[in-house]
Amino acid sequence: MTIRIVTDSTADLPQTLAEELGITVIPLYVQFGEKAFRDRVDITEDEFYQRLLNDPVHPSTSQPSPQDFANVYGELSQQADGIISIHISTKLSGTCNSALRGKELAATACPIEVVDSETVSMGLGLLAIEAATIASSGKGLQEVVEEVKKLIPGTHVWALFDTLKYLALGGRIGKAKALLGSVLNIKPILVVKDGVMAPANQARSREKGISMLCGFVSKFTDIQDIAVVYSTTPDEAQDLVDRIGVMFDKNRIKLARLGSALGVHAGPGALAIALRGKCK
């Protein structure tokens, strides 16, 4: 039984890890003016953040087209008994809808299940990783789908933002809008809750914000997997890995980078933690 896993680039999966697990990543698009780029395919993270800071035009993003999905499904179906396509929360993007339309376009006999992860970034990435791990055990398509869906409520993401400016510019600020009037230099922390970004806390300095991220981790037990994600501050991300390493096997902590699809909204200086576990 060969079950293939598909996700999208908002999962922020490191390429080497995706390749190792056989996970296919479909890129979202980021557009500066008339020029569109495929996330991590046509534009690197460094190139994107440099352009985000310097280009007078603020970029926009769009989900993969149904045809993008159909092309991938058609290719994978030739060597698979089933496909699980797990994507960013439907409340944050139309990617799942494109995947469903792509499933219809592919018109393949290979069964395809589209799953709304109800999360984003490495929260989605950790679910895709676990889906690939479960699938490799030889379980059937529906068994894998059901096991992955059971993991969604226990998957958590918190993100420390240097500013909410980019989230506001991208129109994705949602429930965090109330924080826009906060005192200057306040560092907001948002949590993915019920598929959307919502305020979790706010810190009066970046260091205190990072300590708060560590505090969130300390409230969990039976942590199965964890990841640290950053946009432009790798040294801070590594320091966060070291600090979390006191609570969780440091060698198992995954380090990832926000790609352009999410970087448009998070901006420079964003730092996040994703984990699968139970709250104490």
| Pairwise pLDDT comparison (247 vs 6), residue with the higher score | 6
Query: Distance (Å, rounded) from C-alpha 114 to C-alpha 149?
Result: 11
What is the average pLDDT score of the chain?
92
pLDDT one-digit tens code per residue, 226-262? 999 999 999 999 999 999 999 999 999 999 999 999 9
Comma-separated ranges of CATH 3.40.50.10170 domains in the chain: 3-28+63-153
CATH 3.40.720.10 assigned to domain 3-28+63-153? The reply is: no
Residues in the chain: 280
- Residue 81 region by backbone torsions, left for phi larger than 0, else alpha for psi between -120 and 50, else beta: alpha
Number of Cα atoms under 13 Å in the Cβ half of residue 132: 18
Q: Which residues in the chain are classed under CATH 3.30.1180.10?
A: 154-279
260, 53 in Cβ contact below 8 A? no
pLDDT at 63: 97
Q: Residue 176: which pLDDT band, with cuts at 50, 70 and 90?
A: very low
Helix (H, G, I), strand (E, B) or coil at 31: strand
Q: What topology does CATH give the domain 154-279?
A: Hypothetical Protein Tm841; Chain: A;domain 3 (3.30.1180)
* Band of residue 178 on the pLDDT scale cut at 50, 70, 90: very low
Where does the pLDDT of residue 278 fall: very low under 50, low under 70, confident under 90, or very high at 90 and above?
confident
Sign of torsion over alpha carbons 194, 273, 147, 103: positive
What single-letter DSSP state applies at residue 122?
H
Residue 230: closest CA among 267, 189, 271? 271
CB-neighbour burial class of residue 194 (10 A; exposed 0-12, middle 13-18, buried 19+): exposed
Least confident of 102-116, 158-172, 228-242: 158-172
Instruction: Give pLDDT tens digits for 40-90.
Output: 999 999 999 999 999 998 999 999 999 999 999 999 999 999 999 999 999
CA distances from 216 to 129, 183, 201 (A): 22, 23, 11
pTM higher than 0.85 for the full model?
yes
Structure tokens at 173: 């600020």
Phi-psi region of 15 (alpha: psi -120 to 50; beta: other; left: phi over 0): alpha
